[in-house]
Amino acid sequence: MGDRGAVPAERFSWQNIPPEDKDGGIVEGARPDVTGYVVKRLLQFVLVLLVLTGLVFTLLHLSGNPAALLLPANATQEQVAQMSRSLGLDRPIHVQYARYLANLFRGDLGTSYRMNLPVTRVIAVYLPNTLSLAGFSILFATFCSLILGIAAALKRDTAIDVVATMGATIGQSMPTFWLAILLLLLFGVKLKWLPVSGIGGWKHYILPMITMGWYSTAFLTRVIRSNMLEVLNAEYVQVARSKGLHERTVVLRHAFRNALLPVVTIWGLQLGTLLMGSVVTETVFAWPGVGRLSAESVLGRDYPVVLGLILVYGAIFSFLNVCVDLSYALLDPRITYR
């Protein structure tokens, strides 16, 4: 998960001051090297995944023979040995890992022990469900927190502000899995308004979406509120006001855009929170996504699926992190990449 309540990090090299030439003038056309930056991140990502899969591979294989777990409890030694042989588990570990990597480059992630299907196919079935749920959760969180945060900042110290701030503080203190059960109890069991498990029409999305977006909503509301308060007092906003601009124009055109930059940073850090949220949310609501799949695969010792999920999660994480970093350049032209 991302750093809860973390300080927005400087996760890349940036310079607030434009590069200067010898005369102290600003160099024209000092274009950011986006390609170089992306390539660097990509190489780092490949290296990390190699090390990580290697470590997980070792850990998984040191912890016991999965063949024994796949067979019924009364299986003989011979049957276990035969199962190990057929899965290739009797080879030395470095041979197994080399073979895994070789297959990986061909796009083959192995076969799931529990489902007896190619891992790529399993993930291809489960992943879209998680992505759609996560997408809706992010939209939900962004929408709600923007409204609450901006309203609280504009109506500082009124009832709206107090309710939004207090709600956010309490909301941040609730464990996701507990919130899921509360929602399930209230809207599913007591009121019977919404379905409580599985996937289907739009109604199935509501409770999981709220659960998954809850923490981010609470967190972002507080961040947006304090950013807006800071920006609303800035000189350029005062100037915009003194020019006689409409208050709505001042807020939307001048304050809002500048308050958004730190939000993007935190958005990046929220991705980890969402991931943890997906494991918990999908487990409670029996949502057929990769979050629930990872919990089940780890507990069921389905190594190939676990390794595949780490690769997929790592890829999504890195991709989104790069997107977040690049979006700074769009929002704040002062930032360049090294």
- DSSP output for 23-78: TSPBPTT----HHHHHHHHHHHHHHHHHHHHHHHHHHHHHT--HHHHHS-TT--HH
Among 129, 142, 176, 258, binds another protein (CB under 8 A): 176
- φ/ψ of residue 67, rounded to 5: -60, -40
Instruction: Compute how many residues bind another protein; rule: CB under 8 A.
Output: 55
Q: How far apart are CA 284 and CA 269, in angstroms?
A: 24
- Residue 195 interacts with another protein (CB under 8 A): yes or no: no
Asked if 126 and 293 touch (Cβ cutoff 8 Å), the reply is yes
- Residue 1 interacts with another protein (CB under 8 A): yes or no: yes
The site map against another protein for 237-266 (x = CB under 8 A) is ------------------------------
Q: How far is CA 24 from CA 14, 17, 20, 102, 306, in A?
A: 19, 12, 5, 54, 55
Q: How many helices (H) and strands (E) does the chain have?
A: 13, 0
Among 123, 164, 255, 279, binds another protein (CB under 8 A): 279
Q: Which is nearer to another protein, 175 or 333 (CB)?
A: 175
Among 50, 117, 163, 170, binds another protein (CB under 8 A): 170
Q: Which is nearer to another protein, 68 or 174 (CB)?
A: 174
CB of 179 to another protein, least distance (A): 8
| Four-point Cα dihedral 61, 67, 72, 78, nearest 10 | -130
- Residue 288 interacts with another protein (CB under 8 A): yes or no: no
Q: How far apart are CA 156 and CA 158, in angstroms?
A: 6
CB of 302 to another protein, least distance (A): 11
- Residue 63 interacts with another protein (CB under 8 A): yes or no: yes
Q: How far apart are CA 112 and CA 118, in angstroms?
A: 6
Q: State which H helix or E strand residue 144 sits in.
A: helix 119-154
Q: Which is nearer to another protein, 204 or 301 (CB)?
A: 301
Part in contact with another protein (CB under 8 A); list of ranges 88-96, 105-113, 155-163, 172-180: 172-180
* Number of neighbours of residue 233 by Cβ within 10 angstroms: 10
- Residue 46 interacts with another protein (CB under 8 A): yes or no: no
Q: Which is nearer to another protein, 18 or 175 (CB)?
A: 175
Q: List interacting residues with another protein (CB under 8 A).
A: 1-7, 9, 11, 44-45, 48, 52, 56, 59-60, 62-64, 169-170, 172-178, 181-182, 184-185, 189, 226, 269, 272, 275-276, 279-280, 283-284, 294-295, 298-299, 301, 306, 309-310, 313-314, 317-318, 321
